[in-house]
């Protein structure tokens, strides 16, 4: 009958004496192997039997053999030891492999997302990892991955290419904005292409997605049909131009949350639900990346939270 146990755990400090006795089938031999006294071996096993609640050995003359419970415990200890070695080995391998350069490319808007500060915070734990980040529109990101200029990248749309793999990372909302309610509220599908607009790298993708969603009748037109009143090579500069009243533009919402909250920018609104677009991590198909690259990619995937 199973004895009432005082505790619901096994003291693994007792495992060494038990395994030595199980393998030698003799307490004296077990004592020599472990550099313990024979009484010490007996005490350790007695305490372990008390914790288990059942006998672990059958005493036969000068030898001992395992009971069924003892055999099960021996198997448990062996599996536990293997799992521990595997776990520690993986940790050592990950730490030792967490050194070197990781390069990736992304649209400039990603620099203003919550994910970039999270990456920098994670990187503090691995001081030997160096990051090389390039800001580029999605079509350039794809080219850079294919030409092995970067390890991986972030893009706003997938393409059908046999050498590329696309994995969903997150979703971002696109909104049309202006410096005042008056400038934004009167926009419709008939006058959208009369509005002075601000151009910056990647805005064509944002605007074209926004246009086809809100004004589907304008499907044959795109950002190039707009009159451009300002052009700048950074999204920060484009935001300031729109704030200054130079024209309208489309931005990912996360880039202009502050300006919207403080009445510095105003968004186009209609009865349709918000427009979300999928963001993908693009990498080479069937390619084994170095461990340090896989580690950084895993950080991003762990942040991944599609809306």
- Residue 260's pLDDT band, with cuts at 50, 70 and 90, is very high
> Per residue in 7-46, pLDDT tens?
567 888 899 999 999 999 999 999 998 888 999 999 999 9
Token output for 19? 């395994």
Token output for 160? 């059908």
- The three-state (H, E, C) secondary structure of the chain, written as one string: CCCCCCCCCCCHHHHHHHHHHHHHCCHHHHHHHHCCCHHHHHHHHHHHHHHHCCCCEEEECCEEEECHHHHHHHHHHHHHHHHHHHHHHHHHHHHHHCCEEEEEEECHHHHHCCHHHHHHHHHCCCCCEEEEEEECCHHHHHHHHHCCCCCEEEECCCCCCCCEEEEEEEEEEEEEEECCHHHHHCCCCCCHHHCCEEECCCHHHHHHHHHHHHCHHHCCCCHHHCCEEEECCCHHHHHHHHHCCCCEEEEEHHHCHHHHHCCCCEECCCCCCCCEEEEEEEEECCCCCCHHHHHHHHHHHHHCCCC
At 306 the pLDDT is 42
At 305 the pLDDT is 47
> Per residue in 96-124, pLDDT tens?
667 889 999 999 888 888 888 888 888 88
- Domains by residue range for the chain, with CATH: 12-95 (1.10.10.10), 100-303 (3.40.190.290)
119: closest CA among 108, 136, 132, 107? Answer: 132
β-pair partners for 281: 154, 167
Segment 229-247 shows an average pLDDT of 95
Conformational region of residue 229, where left means phi above 0, alpha means psi within -120 to 50, and beta covers everything else? alpha
In angstroms, the CA 223 to CA 143 distance is 22
At 6 the pLDDT is 47
In angstroms, the CA 246 to CA 194 distance is 14
Judge whether residue 280 has pLDDT over 90: yes
> Per residue in 212-229, pLDDT tens?
999 998 878 888 888 999
Q: How many CB atoms are closer than 10 A to CB 174?
A: 23
> Per residue in 152-203, pLDDT tens?
999 988 999 999 999 998 889 999 999 999 999 889 989 999 999 999 988 9
- Residue 1's pLDDT band, with cuts at 50, 70 and 90, is very low
118: closest CA among 299, 295, 273, 293? Answer: 299
From 20-24, 87-91, 221-225, 242-246, the region with the lowest mean pLDDT: 87-91
At 191 the pLDDT is 92
Judge whether residue 2 has pLDDT over 50: no
At 127 the pLDDT is 86
Segment 257-271 shows an average pLDDT of 93
Better-predicted residue by pLDDT, 89 or 274: 274
pTM of the shown model = 0.62
65: closest CA among 73, 57, 53? Answer: 57
Alpha-carbon Rg for the chain, nearest whole angstrom, is 32
At 151 the pLDDT is 96
At 5 the pLDDT is 44
At 97 the pLDDT is 60
275: closest CA among 205, 225, 218? Answer: 205
């Amino acid at each position: 009958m199973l004895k009432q146990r005082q505790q619901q755990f096994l003291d693994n400090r007792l495992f060494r004496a038990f395994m030595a006795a199980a393998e030698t089938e003799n307490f004296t031999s077990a004592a020599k192997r472990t550099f313990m006294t024979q009484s010490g071996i007996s005490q350790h096993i007695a305490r372990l039997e008390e914790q288990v609640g059942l006998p672990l050995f059958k005493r036969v003359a000068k030898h001992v053999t395992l009971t069924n419970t003892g055999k099960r415990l021996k198997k448990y200890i062996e599996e536990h030891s293997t799992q521990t070695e595997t776990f520690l080995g993986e940790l050592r391998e990950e730490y030792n492999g967490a050194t070197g350069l990781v390069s990736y490319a992304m649209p400039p808007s990603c620099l203003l997302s919550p994910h970039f500060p999270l990456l920098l915070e994670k990187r503090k734990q691995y001081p030997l990892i160096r990051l090389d980040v390039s800001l580029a529109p999605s079509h350039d990101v794809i080219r850079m991955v294919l030409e092995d200029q970067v390890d991986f990248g972030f893009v706003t749309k997938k393409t059908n290419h046999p050498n590329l793999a696309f994995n969903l990372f997150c979703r971002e909302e696109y909104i049309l904005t202006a410096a005042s309610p008056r400038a934004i509220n009167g926009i419709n599908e008939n006058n959208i292409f009369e509005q002075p607009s601000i151009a910056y790298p990647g805005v064509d993708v944002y605007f074209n997605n926004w246009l086809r969603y809100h004004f589907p009748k304008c499907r044959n037109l795109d950002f190039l049909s707009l009159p451009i009143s300002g052009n700048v090579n950074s999204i920060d500069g484009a935001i300031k131009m729109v704030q200054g009243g130079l024209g309208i533009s489309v931005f990912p919402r996360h880039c202009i949350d502050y300006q919207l909250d403080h009445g510095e920018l105003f968004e186009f609104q209609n009865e349709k639900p918000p427009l979300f677009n999928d963001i993908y991590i693009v990498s080479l198909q069937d390619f084994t990346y170095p461990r340090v690259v896989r580690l950084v990619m895993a950080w991003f995937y762990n942040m991944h939270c599609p809306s």
